[in-house]
Amino acid sequence: MLRRLWRRIRAHPVASQPSRPADGRASAEDLRAARTGDTGAPGVGGAELEDRFAGLVLGVSSSMEISPNRFETRVLAGLERLCSTPTLPADLVPRTPGILPRLWSALRRDGGSFSALADVCARDPVLVREVLRLANSPYYRGRAEVTGLEQALVLLGEAGIRQVMVNAAFRPLLLLDSGHFARLAAPLLWTQGEWTARLGDCLARRVGIDRFAAYLSGIAQNIGFTVALRVLDRHFTGREAPRSRAFRERFVRDARALSVRIVQGWEFPAAVGVAVREQGGNRTRARSPLGEVLYAADKLAKLQALKTHGAVPQTAAWADPAPCAGWGDLCRVCARTIDPAVAGASSV
C-alpha cells in the first residue's frame, strides 16, 4: 500500500496548505483584514500576559506583592533542588514517548520524506486514528468523510503527518490526571501549547524558517510545567495557595529550565532546544530566528487562552505585537489560525 501511495504522491504533489498564496506569504487582503478593528483595542504587555496566564495555570487569578508563604517556599526549594540535580528523577519526569525515536529515525531517512513518515504512521494504530481525526477536521475535510488511511495521508501531506506524530507523542504527557494542580492546569497547558505550535507553524511559513521545528518547539515548551506541577502537588495540603508574584515568576522560570533539560535529554533537534532556552525575559533580548517565532507564538497563544477564560476582554491585543519590527501584520494574520470562530483545526 505504501509503495502505491508514494507513487501517487510523486505523480500528484500534495498541497500542503489549502487556500494560501503560492509563496506561503500573507496576501495583501490578509494583511488589510488583519488590521481591521485593531484601533482602540486594550493592550496587554508581555509581563502581564505571563502573570495572568500563570494565574490560570495555578488557579489563582491575581498575584500579590507579598513574600512567598510556607507552601510556596517549600515548592521553590524543591524546584531549585530539582533544577540543580545532574539527573532528573524518573518518578517526576515523563518517560521518552515511544513515538519520538521512530519520528527522529524517519526524519533522518531521506530527510523525513513522505514515504518514511507514512510508513511509521501505518504501523501504529494510535497514529492511524490521529491521522483520520485530523483529515476529517473542518480545516481539511471536503464534502465527503475521509475513511481510508491512504486518502487521509495524501490529504495531510508531510507537514500534517509530522504534526500528527508530535501531537500523539505529547498529548498523554501534558494531559495529566493526578494531583490538584496537575488536573487543573493540564487541559490549559495542552491547548496553549497546541495553539503555540499552530501559530509557530504559520509564522515560520511566512518568514521562511523550518516549520516543523517551530511546531515542535510550541508543543515541547510546556513539558517542564508537567514536572513543576508534580512538585507543586507533592507539597500541597490545601491550607495555603500560590498567591505571591515572586513565586509565580520563579515557578515559571524553573518550569522553563526543566523544559530545556527534557528537550535536550530526548534528543530534539538542537535548534528546538535553543529556542526553548531563549524564552523568558523581555522582548528586546537577542534570540535565534526560531526563538523569535516561538516567543511571538507563545504570547499570542496565551492571549487567546486568557480571552477564552474571560481573563481579558475579547478585544484585547498584545501590546508588543511582535518581537522585531515588521512582524505586527504577520502576527495578527497568524493569530486567526487559533480563533475558534475562524479555524477548527491545525494550520499545516
The verdict on 187 and 249 lying in the same domain is yes
Q: What is the pLDDT of residue 289?
A: 92
Reduced to 3 states, what is the DSSP secondary structure of residue 13? Answer: coil
Distance CA 2, CA 147 (A): 17
- Please give the model's pTM, rounded to 2 decimal places: 0.76
Q: In the chain, which ranges are continuous DSSP H helix?
A: 2-11, 28-35, 46-58, 70-84, 99-108, 114-122, 125-135, 149-174, 180-207, 211-220, 223-235, 245-265, 270-277, 289-308, 328-335
Please indicate, yes or no, if residue 154 is contained in any of the structural domains. yes
The verdict on 195 and 313 lying in the same domain is yes
pLDDT at 344 over 50: no
Please indicate, yes or no, if residue 1 is contained in any of the structural domains. no
Residue where one domain finishes, among candidates 116, 141, 174: 174
Q: What is the pLDDT of residue 31?
A: 34
The cell 487521509 sits on which residue? 152
pLDDT digit string (tens) for 200-254? Answer: 988 898 889 998 899 999 999 999 998 999 999 999 998 999 999 999 999 999 9
* Average of per-residue pLDDT across 162-181: 78
Start-to-end Cα distance in the chain: 24
Q: What is the CATH number of the domain that holds 284?
A: 1.10.3210
Please indicate, yes or no, if residue 4 is contained in any of the structural domains. no
Please indicate, yes or no, if residue 70 is contained in any of the structural domains. yes
CB 186 within 8 A of CB 177: yes
Residue where one domain finishes, among candidates 149, 174, 199: 174
CB atoms within 10 A of CB 339: 11
Range of the domain at 155: 97-174
CB 348 within 8 A of CB 204: no
CB 291 within 8 A of CB 278: yes
- Among 18-32, 44-58, 78-92, 107-121, whose mean pLDDT is lowest? 18-32
Q: How many domains does the chain have?
A: 2
* Average of per-residue pLDDT across 133-139: 74
CB 200 within 8 A of CB 289: no
- Among 46-55, 182-191, 280-289, 294-303, whose mean pLDDT is lowest? 280-289
CB atoms within 10 A of CB 69: 16
Averaging pLDDT over each range in 93-102, 166-175, 197-206, which range is the top one?
197-206
